[in-house]
């Protein structure tokens, strides 16, 4: 059995919906354990025990969420040179752009020498006012399908030994 680990943070529910869709697809793959962990609960041992990863965060002030950054801060050096070559993907729930948050995660994963399986998947909610930014999010069916496809691709690649 291979493990796909999804580490995420969600404040307004958008990222949570995205990772739920990815996990649903990954868990549908035989012989795949699709683990979902909040960033504040994930530790280096969880990452070491997994075979591939999805990292998911909202965009906050043109950056990854602080709790996601904390996860990487707490685990980075403990995992350095120990997870090289493993596959990963990135999910970003953005209000306007999301690319800087994706770049931040990709730089960390480059340091870990992980293998990117797809371009970062960015869902833009177009939330631009304080009220819209803080409001609960609803991710559309088409975007959730994209999240499912990424989760399914990670799981299928792990199951087939491609990654």
pLDDT at 84: 98
pTM for this entry:
0.97
pLDDT at 38: 98
pLDDT at 15: 98
pLDDT tens profile 65-100 = 999 999 999 999 999 999 999 999 999 999 999 999
Name the 3-class secondary structure at 127. Answer: coil
**Which alpha helices (H) appear in the chain, and where do they start and end?**
14-27, 44-49, 66-79, 99-112, 130-134, 141-160
Domain ranges of the chain: 2-160
pLDDT at 99: 98
C-alpha distances in Å from residue 87, one per residue of 54, 109, 131, 163: 9, 10, 37, 6
pLDDT at 88: 98
pLDDT at 89: 98
pLDDT tens profile 102-149 = 999 999 999 999 999 999 999 999 999 999 999 999 999 999 999 999
pLDDT at 161: 95
pLDDT at 157: 98
pLDDT at 151: 98
Q: What is the DSSP string of 74-111?
A: HHHHHHTTTSTT-EEEEEEEESS--HHHHHHHHHHHHH
* 24-29 contacts at long range (C-beta below 8 A, 24 or more positions apart): 24/148, 24/151, 25/147, 25/148, 25/149, 25/150, 25/151, 25/152, 25/155, 26/54, 26/151, 26/152, 26/154, 26/155, 27/155, 28/152, 28/155, 29/152, 29/155, 29/156, 29/158, 29/159
63 and 104 in contact (C-beta within 8 Å)? yes
**H or E stretch at 3:** strand 2-8
pLDDT confidence bin for 158, thresholds 50/70/90: very high
pLDDT at 51: 98
pLDDT at 18: 98
Q: CATH number of the domain at 2-160, out of 3.40.50.360, 3.30.499.10, 3.40.190.10, 3.30.360.10?
A: 3.40.50.360
Please, which residues have CB within 8 angstroms of residue 42's CB and are 6 or more apart in sequence? 5, 7, 71, 75
């Amino acid at each position: 059995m291979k493990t796909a680990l999804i580490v995420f943070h969600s404040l307004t529910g958008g990222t949570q919906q995205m990772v739920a869709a990815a996990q649903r697809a990954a868990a549908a793959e035989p012989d795949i354990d699709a683990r979902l962990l909040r960033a504040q609960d994930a530790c280096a041992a969880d990452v070491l025990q997994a075979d591939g990863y999805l990292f998911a965060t909202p965009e906050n002030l043109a950056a990854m969420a602080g709790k996601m950054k904390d996860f990487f801060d707490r685990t980075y050096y403990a995992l350095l040179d120990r997870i090289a070559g493993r596959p990963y993907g990135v999910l970003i729930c953005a209000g306007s752009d999301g690319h800087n948050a994706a770049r931040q995660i990709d730089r960390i994963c480059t340091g870990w020498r992980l293998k990117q399986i797809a371009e970062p998947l960015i869902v833009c909610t177009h939330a631009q006012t304080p009220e819209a930014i803080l409001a609960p999010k609803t991710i559309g069916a088409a975007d959730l399908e994209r999240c499912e496809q990424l989760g399914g691709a990670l799981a299928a690649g792990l199951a087939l030994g491609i990654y």
